Amino acid sequence: MKQSIYIVGPCSAESREQVLETAQAINTLRSTVSDTLFIFRAGVWKPRTSPSSFQGAGDEALAWLQAVKARYHMPVATEVATPEHVQAALAAGIDYLWIGARTSASPIAVQAIAESIDHCAVRPAAPVNVLIKNPVNTDAALWIGNIERLERTGVPVMAVHRGCNHQPCWQMAHIVRTARPDIPMLLDPSHMSGDAAKVAALMDKITELGLNGAMIEVHCHPEAALSDRKQQVRPETLSNLINLTNLNNQNIELNWLRAEIDELDATLWETIAARMDVSRRIGIWKKANDVQPLQPARYEAILRQRLKWAEEHDLPSTFVQQIFDLIHQESIRQQK
């Protein structure tokens, strides 16, 4: 049975009390779960969208993570976005560094981080591990390139799939998993959903897709969290979440393909719904301007164009015409 990896803890280190209270609850749970490596996480320097939001407690919080490590003998992790963060984190004995989705979108920033790990003046007692999240945009090649940049430093690397815009990106993750089956891939259901209530439903994917574990945001008082308040779960919830996973599964490749199909179908229906919405707005305009809903010349022109696209995508023209006729009929109905 392979060991699963759970990186758990608050989005941000907010105070010594909050960090230690959350760590204590996680440590209690740790003794009840077997075959699992628990790593305590907390962001110290936070890449926030707005400069008015809480930006993290900064260097001071490294001592709170050190206290968790010393008190509970649990490895600790924090996010780094600059070479200065790397130096400070390694000097404080942080065991796992993760690179967030915003930093992962910049190969120059990732290269600078890799070089600073390589040239670090402080040699940590144990080798540091680096986790690289997927970039905020769906770019599998960039994610793979980032893994390679970090590997050149000789550190063990893991990938974390946190999705984009609070949605999973299974297609992108499947490409990376297929290219690099040798490195662990973790799920980050907290940032993937942005909603604590949706975390449980994503946990099944760890088993289905043969992932190696998860990074989950856990806060002792999520309602008072200074960042990502909506998505952090309580320590009591964490044990139920971990019990949902079971790493012995046979149909991993089929499940990856099904995850891709589910994702594409979701996009398909969203696109169709958005198209109907525009159709209804066209209907309002046509009514106001006394124009009939069905305009045969326009219909013929767009059908010709859609059939050309079908050819470019190697799709049979009868199939595309049938689908398009159905969509168009419904559009006209919505305009009446």
- Tell me how far the alpha carbon of residue 88 is from its chain's centroid: 26
Output 7 or 259, the one with its CB closest to Mn ion: 7
Only one of the segments 13-21, 96-104, 140-148, 271-279 lies at the binding site for ligand PEP (rule: CB under 6 A); that segment is 96-104
Q: How far apart are CA 196 and CA 233, in angstroms?
A: 6
Output 14 or 228, the one with its CB closest to Mn ion: 228
- Tell me how far the alpha carbon of residue 113 is from its chain's centroid: 20
* Residue 303 zone, left/alpha/beta (φ > 0; ψ -120 to 50; rest): alpha
Strands, DSSP E only, in 28-143? Answer: 36-41, 76-79, 96-99, 129-133
| Six token digits for residue 171 | 């297609």
Residue 326 C-beta: closest distance to ligand PEP, Å:
39
| Six token digits for residue 10 | 């608050």
Q: How many CB atoms lie within 10 A of CB 254?
A: 10
End-to-end alpha carbon distance in the chain: 61
Q: Does 85 bind ligand PEP (CB under 6 A)?
A: no
Q: Which one, of 187, 202, 200, 190, lies nearest residue 230 by Cα?
A: 190
Site size toward ligand PEP, by CB under 6 A: 11
Only one of the segments 26-34, 98-106, 253-261, 316-324 lies at the binding site for ligand PEP (rule: CB under 6 A); that segment is 98-106
Residue 101 C-beta: closest distance to ligand PEP, Å:
4
One of 161, 162, 177, 219 touching ligand PEP (CB under 6 A): 162
User: Exposure of 178 by Cβ count < 10 A (0-12 exposed, 13-18 middle, 19+ buried)?
Assistant: exposed
The entry of Mn ion, ligand PEP, none that residue 234 binds, CB within 5 to 8 Å by partner kind: none
The entry of ligand PEP, Mn ion, none that residue 139 binds, CB within 5 to 8 Å by partner kind: none
Output 139 or 228, the one with its CB closest to Mn ion: 228
Output 15 or 322, the one with its CB closest to ligand PEP: 15
Q: Does 11 bind Mn ion (CB under 5 A)?
A: yes
Residue 315 C-beta: closest distance to ligand PEP, Å:
36
- Nearest residue (beta carbon) to Mn ion: 11
Interface residues with Mn ion (CB under 5 A)? 11, 228
